[in-house]
Each structure stands twice: as C-alpha cells, then as structure tokens.
A and B are shown apart, each in its own frame.
Chain A
C-alpha cells in the first residue's frame, strides 16, 4: 500500500483557485490563495521528502491559509490542529476518555447499559478519541495536517513530537495499540517566532520564510478576492498601503509589527462598498478606516497626523 501511494506523488501548482461563491464543508466561503513560485516549490519538496514544512513569516502573510489551499487543489482531506498555550503533544495524537470508561463501568454494574453499550464498554479501545495527527495517520488517503502556531505551546512541545513526525508512528499507552501511518501525511507547521524551536525539531523540518508579496502579487490577490473592484481603487489603495508599510518599516525596523496582507484585504473589503469616486476621494485624503490597519494607539498617533 505504501508503494502505491509513493508512486504518484501529488504535485501542487498553486494555480487552481476556487470559485468566488464556493463553500467548504463548514459553510465558509473558500478563499483563493496565490502563493509565489518559491513557496510552491517548497511545498512540493516537502511532499517529495515526506518532511514537515515549517513556515515562518510576518503575522498575516498567509501562513495558515496555505494548508487549506493545498488541500483544496490536491483534493485531500485537511486536519487542522490549532495549538494553544496549554496544548500537549499527545493531544494531537489521541486523548483517552478515562472518565467515560469509569462512568460506563458504574452504569454496567447497576445494569443500566444496553447490550450494545456493554459490548463497547468492554473494549478499552472504544474510549480513545483521536486527535488531528492520529486521524491523519489512520486514514487510507494522504492527509494534510496543519499544526498552527506551534510556538504558542510549552518549549518542550515540539520535542515531544519528534518520533511521531519522524517515523510517523505512536503508541496508545492505555491499550498498547501501535498506530503506524498508512499514507504519509503532508504536514505544515506555522510559527510566529515568539519562542525559539529546539534544534532537534528544526532538523527534521524543511523551512520556508513566507515573504511579503510584491506589488503585482498584491494586486492579483485583491483581484482574485474581489473581482468586481474597480482597478483605480485597487491601485490607489495598494499605493497608499505600501507607503504606510514602508514608513512603518523605517520607524520600527524589520522586526516591528507592520501592516500585513490580511489587513490590506480587510481594508479593501471596506473600501469597495463605496462608489468608485467616493472611495478614491477617501483614499486621497486622510487615511480612511485607520482602525483596520493601525492596531496600537502609538501607531494611530504617529501615522494619522500626516
């Protein structure tokens, strides 16, 4: 089975985009994603080498959006694991419902379980709740796994995932069951660089720094998202946006928080509700809707004066 999977490797091109009103399983509209060629190459390399792809970059540059886009184009299922500060590595594999098992044992003792439930309660494996990575390992098809913001968890969290990512297997300690991935999953990991990741973990990953898009690509992105927006508004908005970004870069340096792609998208979304001449008039005067772009009081004071 492993052989048949590796023979025809899926190839990501980044060109297939969803229709504007296409919706995903949860009813949210699918958004187009326009990766640059380097990112596409990195994705294909990760698929080929079967290594996780670690994505870093400014907040709001589309790190998290990549995984759904790849899943959409390749037609593969997506498992997303949004890491929290309390997350533990095992949560992504499975959790064991020990309380449920105790409850069932009590109910069985008092004879209040149906025959079916009684049968299930005798099997310890029926209390395993699989996590995103566990589900991906068990699936016959290749699955895309997104481990989002891995740096939010404790610093030992990435180290606890080494074996799972390296050999794609783990053991359920409660039942002794060993889970070996049927098809190697395609793993994307995003990090906001709040904490350093351990070397042993980094060694197993491929790394790609998601660059801020160039002007042409920004225009493409806006056109793909809002096809009906007049070109003059898009052009003017991006000019204004880039000027603001450049000014922020000068003030804060490379590391400071700057306006990002996602904020630009929100901003254009607001602006396009107005007729073309009104929107242009707004863009040519004081920065319109600063709340969308400027997220701190200092930024408001500094960039709104002009």
Chain B
C-alpha cells in the first residue's frame, strides 16, 4: 500500500466529527488494502473506506466532505471550466514539476535573504558591500549604472512583490573598484561576494524554468478541454454543518460545565444561532434507557422453576406454568414549549422530538406543543394550528404507563418572575399528575439562570433538569423511577399508595 495516503488523518477527522470508529476499524481498512481491496483508484479507495467506516447517509455526507478535503477533488466532477479564470489556476499542485520548481525558487530566495543577513552581521559598518550602504548609494546618481536587474524575468513567478525587489538589489556588481578604507579580513569580502552572487543567479534560472513549465502546463490544459481545473471545495451542506455544530457545541458545553461557576455564562451564551448542549447521538443513547419492562399479555413463556415446584407439590405434571413475555411498557408524552423565549432552542427541541420518535419511545402518547403555560389546548404542530383540548389529550393517556417530559425554559430565558405563569403552570401540572406516572421538566437554560425566576418556583413542584447530557440522563432516570428528587416526594408517596 501507499504510505503517503492520509488515511489516518481521514480516520481521525471522522472520529472528531463524531463518527463512532475504533482502532479495529482502521486496522480493517489496512487489512483490506493488503488483501487487494480498494487499491485500484481513488474511487475504489473511497468505496472501501465508506463500506468499513460509514453506517448511515448522514455519516456518508461527512465522509465525502473529509475525503474530498484530504484526497483532493474527484476528477471530472465540475464541467464548467469557464467559471474559473485561467490565470488564477497558476501552480496546480497536481503538476509535480511545477511544484518542485516553486519549492526550489523559494529556497533560492530564502538563501538570498540569508546572505543578506550574513553580510550585515559580518562586514564592518562602512563596508560598501553592505545592503545599507548599497541602498544609500542607489538614491544618489551612481557613478556606474548597475547591472541589469533580473526583476522583469521574475514577474510571472507566483511570488508577487517583495522578492524581486529585494533579491536583485544586493547585487554586488555595481562598485567593485571602491575598496573599503579599513578591512580586517580582505579575503572575506571575496567569499561573501561569491556567495552573494549565487542566489540571484539561481533565482533567475529557476524563475525561467518555472515560467516554461507553467506555459507547458497551460498549453497541455488548453489541448485537453475535458480535463477540468481544480474544482472549488465541496460546499458544506446544511446537514454537515448541523452535524458538525452538534459536536462543536458538545465540546463547548463540556467546557462550560467545567468552568462556568466563576464566570457568568450569559456572556458566551447564544453566541451562535443554535444552542445544542446535547448532541443527537447523545439524545438517542439517553432515550434508549427510557424503558420499563413488564410481564404483560398472553402467557407464552415457560416458567421452569415454578413448573418444577408445582410438579413437586402435585406429584405429576398437570400443566406447565406459563408467564407472559417481558415487554416495554413506557409511553412518552413530550410537551414542547414553542415560540417566544424558546425561539433560540427550536433546533434543540426539533432534535429532541426527532430522536424520541426514531428511538421508538413514544408509544401511544406522542408530541404536543404549547406556549408558555397551557390553559385550554395543546397543539399537534409547532405552528399551533391543530389544537386539541387538554382534557381530551389527558383522557387518552394510560395513567400507569405514561411518563411526561416537558421541554421549556419556564421563564428563565427572560429572567423574570411571573406569578400568573406560575399559577397556570401549577394548575396544568396538577391535571397532568392525575394521568401520568411520572413527569420531569427539561430546561434549556443553565441552572444558574433559574434563580429568582418562575423556573425556580416551578422546580419546587416538579423535578427540573438542565438540557445537558447529565441533565437528560437524570431526567430519564427520574422517569424510570431510578432517581428520587426532593420535588418528587408528593409523587412518590402517591405511588406507594397505588397497588
């Protein structure tokens, strides 16, 4: 295999973008390459990596983006050659000759500068070979016209202004007849002059070569009209941006939770248009825990222990003891606060709803939208168009199976206290408590912002958590009955009474 392939880079970038990959996956690709897979061309390699590393269409978009970035653009993608000005496409990295020449030219220019520095340091202050002396001489009418400068030949080189003007000027030829008044090492100046002559000549030769190579390349290109120039980088699709944002924000959220106690969060809050403290992947993982396995339905499973015990008591097998299968009996009612102060969190709530539906966790309950505190109606759609009376919604719930998650800022985003809102909310929560097993409140605002707002008062009545990974985990544990919460004491005692 080719050791130059940036496979490890690609692998690491995919990992950083949140694609769940392990070392075994990287090794699998290497093994496959050794086994003769994906070695034909660029496309074959892309197919191999995709097959091993990519597991969903979303990840595929991420992969395509990074693959194009690291392996260059695919040949023959964009047919519109006219969109790019030909002068702009000067040293294409695809031509190794041009690249080599460009590197050498840079080297020559650098060595010229080195020589300058050396001469400044080594020669005595009045030496006429010093750049400073030469420059001052240039402004006076020179006794001898300077030798032809190489700057016109350099002009087509990819390095624009500073080099041609700097490197030819220290050309030591103009004044060889002036001897320095006092010089400690007379031989030194010949050495320095000799060294100093080399870089400019080198620069001129290389620039000429580069020019020729570029001309040849342009010529080739004009003779192959179907070979496209390098295409502009693939645009980031909104999906990739969304995915990336997810992960970037996750990193920020971690930083914030670590360091935000001393510094007010508000300063860095809402810097970007979307606030995503929990990534979609994390949400999916959290929803997975939301389950309550209950033996229910037709008895189909044999209870071996009970059957053996029964045979022991009866002396003969009359009938086997059967048990119903364990099934998940959780129905989630998701209530999403929409509009107003919740506008910055819409993308977060959309993700929450999406992952809950895809995770198959909603059961018969579903998603409803509300605004601030509901009084009469809940809505089926985010735009508040299809209304349904609260009592109808609650009437359909299975009081023993339903758990409720409310996603709202509870007035913490505006930072105000409203007794009216608190009253309405408490009333609604009381009605909800009658028809749901457990309920939690997920607040997109950080806990430090709840103080002195309606949110703090509501948090007295219902377990309220931040919309972070930890908060969501705790919220779901609470819904499963794993976590006791001070605000839940009423709920818990009610449950103990229930058979």
Contact = CB atoms under 8 A, between A and B. Distances in A.
A178 interface: no
A269 B37 CA distance: 38
B28 A49 contact: yes
B288 A207 contact: no
A209 B60 contact: yes
A203 to B, nearest CB: 6
B55 interface: yes
Given A198-B288, A203-B22, A45 B37 contact: yes
Please report whether the interface of chain A is mostly helix, strand, loop or mixed according to DSSP. helix
Please report whether the interface of chain B is mostly helix, strand, loop or mixed according to DSSP. helix
A86 interface: yes
B472 to A, nearest CB: 17
Contacts of B325: 86
Given A98-B304, A206-B52, A209-B57, A199 B359 contact: no
A208 B317 contact: no
Interface stretch (A62-70, A99-107, A219-227, A296-304): A99-107
B255 to A, nearest CB: 24
B317 A106 contact: yes
A44 interface: yes
A196 interface: yes
Interface residues on A, range: 20 to 34
Given A195-B358, A196-B284, A198-B288, A45 B21 contact: no
B146 interface: no
Interface in B22-68: 22, 25, 28, 31-32, 35, 37, 44, 47-48, 50-52, 54-57, 60
Contact of A99 (B20, B57, B320, B359): B320
A48, A51, A105, A207 pick with most chain B CB within 10 angstroms: A207
Interface in B121-140: none
A42 interface: yes
A155 interface: yes
Contacts of B360: 155, 194-195
Nearest to B40: A41
B32 A102 contact: no
A102 B317 contact: yes
Nearest to A107: B317
Contacts of A49: 28, 31-32, 52
Contact of A207 (B48, B55, B316, B328): B55
Interface string A10-45: 000000000000000000000000000010011011
Interface string A189-211: 00000111011001101111100
Interface in B308-365: 311, 316-317, 320, 325, 328, 358-360
Nearest to A154: B328
A224 B32 CA distance: 33
A103 B51 contact: no
B217 interface: no
Given A99-B320, A195-B359, A195-B360, A203 B25 contact: yes
Q: 3 closest pairs, A vs B, by CB? A: A207-B55, A202-B55, A199-B20
Interface of A: 38, 41-42, 44-45, 48-49, 51, 54, 86, 98-99, 102-103, 105-106, 109, 154-155, 194-196, 198-199, 202-203, 205-209
8 contacts: A41-B51, A45-B52, A98-B307, A106-B316, A109-B316, A207-B50, A207-B54, A207-B55
